[in-house]
Amino acid sequence: MRKINIGIIGFGTVGSGVVKILRDKKSFLAEKTGIEICIKKICDKDLTSKRNVSIDKKLLTKSALEVINDPQIDIIVELMGGVHPAKEFIIEALKKGKNIITANKALLAQDGSELFALAADRGKSIYFESAVGAGIPIIKSLRESLAANSFSSIYGIVNGTSNFILSRMSQESCNFTDALNEAKKLGFAESDPTLDIKGIDSAHKLILLTYLAFGKMVSLKDVHIEGISQILPADIVYAKELGFEIKLLAIAKKEGDGLEMRVHPTFIPKTHLLSSVSGIFNAIYAESDLAGDLLFYGPGAGQMAAASGVVSDLIDLTQDIKAGLFRPTMNIVADKSIKRLCSIDDYKSRYYIRFMANDKPGVLAKISGILAKYGISIASVTQKERSRSHVVPIVMVIHEAEEKDLCSALNTIDRLDTIKEKSVAIRIEEV
């Protein structure tokens, strides 16, 4: 049986998951693929920590170049994360004629264009199934199975940490900090969870989904990004009363000749499938012209789920190599109906708004007066609680308004003496 040698750079959680699968399922995989996948070298800066697999010490090295320069290695699996030096390693590996598998969404979102171009130039492939949704086969489905489709929108719950926190807040009525601490305790959040809770990780993944679905590589700076740390348990309670769940959505959506790119907490109708995606689960909802509205759902994190995505790339690459020829991944073709990226200022939506106001007569009159000045029309108002601190939430749903008008109105309102905290506006999405 033909052997294909691989080198792994980054022997952390996912890396050791990959090693475990390749070892535990050696004969199963060989029988399925007709190829024996051999781990030739593994690089990590930390060679002493315990992993849940034991491996031959001779495979281990601290030198990534030793892996990349090994002429017997056909595939480099980059699982170290971070932009540098992962980028330099991948470039060097492509130049040495290796195919690449990576889970590095931050790197691909930033420098994907450059890396994909280099790979095409060298007749090699970069596979990245586990970069979005761990083991959910969304990358391959968009790139291959749905290649004949054009998309009008992609809605993703693609960050397990944020979704876990919001689900906890919804199910246990706890606040953001408690939910985040629980996520950390359970291993669902990093010690520094900034990228996750601020929506940046979701934006990285959205950029990759957009690249495949719309054929455009968008810069992170062109994605409107909001995180979830401002969400209060009260917002979730109000959302439920109004028939919604709050989810951190990553959205790419055609609007006329423009493409909206945004990540933000969103009210989704409870009747929509996405509203039922809880905990660390991820889901990608895609509206396509031929195959219709599709949903892909599964765990968005976890050692074996992510490793499953990596191994699926490995299997694809072994089949390509077995065929004896470079079989390029499908060409990415830009959606020619998209002429521009939309500005969030022009975005129109219904909104949920929470004001934190002094419980005094006349507050509501002032707020609604300012909204009216900006042409914003109120659909409903709720003011239930009375707190000892005399600061009460006033909750509104407004009819469709333009983002820039709403921002101006909220800036004015937030300067009122009676308003005690920055107001929170959450978009209501008609998925």
Give residues with Cβ within 8 angstroms of 167, minimum separation 6. 278, 279
Smallest gap from Cβ 39 to a second copy, in A, equals 15
Asked whether the beta carbons of 43 and 7 are under 8 A apart, the reply is yes
Asked whether the beta carbons of 206 and 223 are under 8 A apart, the reply is yes
Smallest gap from Cβ 324 to a second copy, in A, equals 6
The residues with which 425 forms a beta bridge, in sequence order, are: 353
Which residue carries 């090295």 as its tokens?
61
Rounded CA separation 206/190 (Å): 20
Segment contacting a second copy by CB under 8 A, of 68-76, 82-90, 253-261, 298-306: 298-306
325 makes contact with a second copy (CB under 8 A): yes
337 makes contact with a second copy (CB under 8 A): no
Rounded CA separation 176/279 (Å): 14
Amino acid at position 70, single letter: D
Asked whether the beta carbons of 132 and 188 are under 8 A apart, the reply is no
172 makes contact with a second copy (CB under 8 A): no
Smallest gap from Cβ 114 to a second copy, in A, equals 21
317 makes contact with a second copy (CB under 8 A): no
Smallest gap from Cβ 307 to a second copy, in A, equals 7
Task: Please select the residue that binds a second copy; options are 77, 103, 126, 307, rule is CB under 8 A.
Answer: 307
Rounded CA separation 284/266 (Å): 15
CA-closest candidate to residue 352, choices 416, 397, 305: 397
Site for a second copy in 250-289 (CB under 8 A): 271, 273, 276-277, 283, 288-289
34 makes contact with a second copy (CB under 8 A): yes
Q: What is the 3-state secondary structure of 291-311?
A: CCEEEEEEECCCHHHHHHHHH
CB atoms within 10 A of CB 122: 16
Segment contacting a second copy by CB under 8 A, of 23-31, 44-52, 96-104, 360-368: 23-31
**Whether 373 is catalytic:** no
In this structure, what DSSP letter does residue 345 have? G
Segment contacting a second copy by CB under 8 A, of 32-40, 62-70, 197-205, 371-379: 32-40
The residues with which 382 forms a beta bridge, in sequence order, are: 395
Smallest gap from Cβ 59 to a second copy, in A, equals 21
338 makes contact with a second copy (CB under 8 A): no
Catalytic residue among 41, 205, 253, 254: 205
Asked whether the beta carbons of 162 and 169 are under 8 A apart, the reply is no
Task: Please select the residue that binds a second copy; options are 297, 347, 352, 355, rule is CB under 8 A.
Answer: 297
Token reading at 387 = 């707190």
237 makes contact with a second copy (CB under 8 A): no
Q: What residues make contact with a second copy under the rule CB under 8 A?
A: 21, 25, 28-29, 31-34, 129, 134-137, 140-141, 144-150, 271, 273, 276-277, 283, 288-299, 302, 304-305, 307-309, 311-312, 315-316, 319-320, 322-325, 327-328, 330-333
Catalytic residues: 205
